[in-house]
Amino acid sequence: MIGSGAEYLYGLIVELMGKQRVYGIESPSYEKIEKVYRAYGAAYELLPLAADGIDGAALAATRADILHLTPYRSFPSGITASASKRHDYVRWSKKPGRFLVEDDFESEFSVSSKPAETLFSLSPYDNVIYVNTFSKTISPALRVGYMVLPEKLLGPFREILGFYSCTVPTFEQFVLAELISGGDFERHINRVRRAKRKELAGGN
């Protein structure tokens, strides 16, 4: 699903999943995440971050049905969820009715030779909503975000939100499609990652 930026997609998530659910949000986190949930009248809990992701006790005690996570690099703390914490999130989500929103902003620029697996790829429960944008990989001026839904939510999305028109101009979609299908986008990502690795190597 394509929309004009991450904040717009957050709103669609609340409309799709319902404001009667409780949403768990990392604390601290990108301030607009909390503002969107508040603006839509959704109930939410702030879950404190530890060194490797959401604090284990807070995760076990939360009343949330849905966790909104930024496992690659939470802002403003810079905390990255460890591999074991990612598996904790997936295990937490196996209870029926629970979902994960994976906000994967900027993960394409990971300098690791083996980037961490996404929650979307790890979960066997078909319950991860994957969100990302092109604002970091291409330009902040390009207001294009995308959301990959689990298969079980495709029907409800069409039923509840299928009347919406896409908020991203068709021309911009065609340009992005050409960049991706032609391999230019992947080459650009690889160039930036190589440059970042050189920077890190030079700083050691």
Query: What's the pLDDT score for residue 117?
Result: 87
* pLDDT tens-digit map of 156-169: 999 999 999 999 99
For the entire predicted model, the pTM comes to 0.88
Query: In the chain, which stretches have pLDDT less than 70?
Result: 107-115, 203-204
| Residue 126 burial class via C-beta count within 10 angstroms: exposed 0-12, middle 13-18, buried 19 and up | exposed
Length of the chain: 204
Query: What's the pLDDT score for residue 186?
Result: 87
Report yes or no: 154 and 71 within 8 Å, Cβ to Cβ: no
Is 100 in a helix, a strand, or coil?
Answer: strand
Query: What's the pLDDT score for residue 111?
Result: 54
Query: What's the pLDDT score for residue 108?
Result: 65
Report yes or no: 105 and 70 within 8 Å, Cβ to Cβ: yes
- CA–CA distance, 35 with 49 (Å, rounded to integer): 19
Report yes or no: 10 and 33 within 8 Å, Cβ to Cβ: yes
